[in-house]
Amino acid sequence: MKRKVIKIDEAKCDGCGLCVPDCPEGALQIIDNKARLISDLFCDGLGACIGTCPNGAISIEIREAEPYDERKVMDNIVKQGPNVIKAHLNHLKEHNETDLLNQAQDFLKEKKITVQNPGVSFTGCPGAAARDMRGKKEPTLMNANADYKPVSALQNWPVQLQLLNPYAPYLKNADLLVSADCVPFAFADFHQRFLEGKIMITFCPKLDKTIDEYIEKLETIFKENDIKSVSVVHMEVPCCSGTLMIIQKALEKAKKVIPVKEYTISISGEII
């Protein structure tokens, strides 16, 4: 299967080993003075090791790899003690990997292993920390009262497809709104007309350089989450119509038939 796995640039790696402690899964070792990925099975592709590499030698790539195995990872982790277990559980929490976190906790229960205070607050990049805001806001209904203040209809974070976790819990059985980047700037009533009750995904089909990755990520979203519907909103300019094409290709690869509604917005801010 194709999935995200870390990639190590040997030319940049000086074997300092700073990345190893930040990989509680045990996927990294220093061998012959270089950091090595010793098993695809142990690499979750979430990149906890990237930020600690002083030379920028670690990145994420999408390639053919063995499926990540949480139970094999936990079997390796428990041997390293409670602090490593805590680090791993927190790593899964930070990336909103709910299914993997449940598997890890089930493993600990089966082995009758108790970890005190297993969770800590998110310390990574706020742009990548998943937030589920469903049911926490009042609808953005129109109101003639002069004191009325519109409320954001946004139910999820992040919204940029490159940052989105395809296994985030708010994607389960969701109605998706896939919008080209420019649409909310042109269409004044974007939140009430399009966003209310939907999970937001946005990207630019012309300027973003990761379109193939977008198609693969959307394929995963469609395969894993039983998506109910997709609303696609793009601008009238020709390059923006690629938004729908990306969705169609992802659905085709996922072999899913999901209702899709397309909306085109004029530069003057009207639905065409």
Supply the pLDDT for residue 75.
87
Q: Is residue 40 part of a domain?
A: yes
Mean pLDDT of 164-172: 85
Taking Cα atoms as reference points, which of 57, 63, 272 lies closest to residue 183?
A: 272
Q: Is residue 126 part of a domain?
A: no
Domain count, the chain: 2
Residue 235 phi, psi dihedral angles, 5° rounding: -80, 165
pLDDT at 24 over 80: no
As a residue count, the chain comes to 272
Same-domain status, 164 and 260: yes
Supply the pLDDT for residue 137.
57
Supply the pLDDT for residue 219.
93
Same-domain status, 101 and 213: no
Distance CA 21, CA 89 (A): 14
Provide the percentage of residues in the chain whose pLDDT is more than 90: 42
CATH code of the domain covering residue 162: 3.40.50
* DSSP conformational letter for 183: H
Distances 21 to 73, 214, 215 between C-alpha atoms, Å: 15, 31, 33
Same-domain status, 99 and 155: no
Q: Is residue 252 part of a domain?
A: yes
CA 220 to chain centroid, in Å, comes to 11
| pLDDT tens digits along 127-157 | 555 667 777 655 555 555 556 677 899 999 8
Same-domain status, 176 and 60: no
Supply the pLDDT for residue 25.
80
Same-domain status, 98 and 211: no
Same-domain status, 145 and 104: no
Q: pLDDT: is 225 or 90 the higher one?
A: 225
For residue 186, give its domain range. Answer: 131-265
Supply the pLDDT for residue 169.
82
Distance CA 3, CA 203 (A): 20
> pTM of the prediction?
0.55
Mean pLDDT of 119-129: 47
Tokens representing 90? Answer: 């927190």
Residue entry with tokens 């072999």: 255
Same-domain status, 70 and 141: no
Mean pLDDT of 175-184: 97
Q: How confident is the model at residue 227 (pLDDT cuts 50, 70, 90)?
A: very high
Q: pLDDT: is 252 or 30 the higher one?
A: 252
The per-residue pLDDT of the chain, averaged, comes to: 85
Distances 265 to 6, 183, 190 between C-alpha atoms, Å: 39, 7, 11
Distance CA 178, CA 199 (A): 8
Q: Is residue 7 part of a domain?
A: yes
User: Where is average pLDDT lowest: 111-115, 142-146, 265-269?
Assistant: 142-146
Q: Is residue 178 part of a domain?
A: yes
Tokens representing 76? Answer: 């390796």
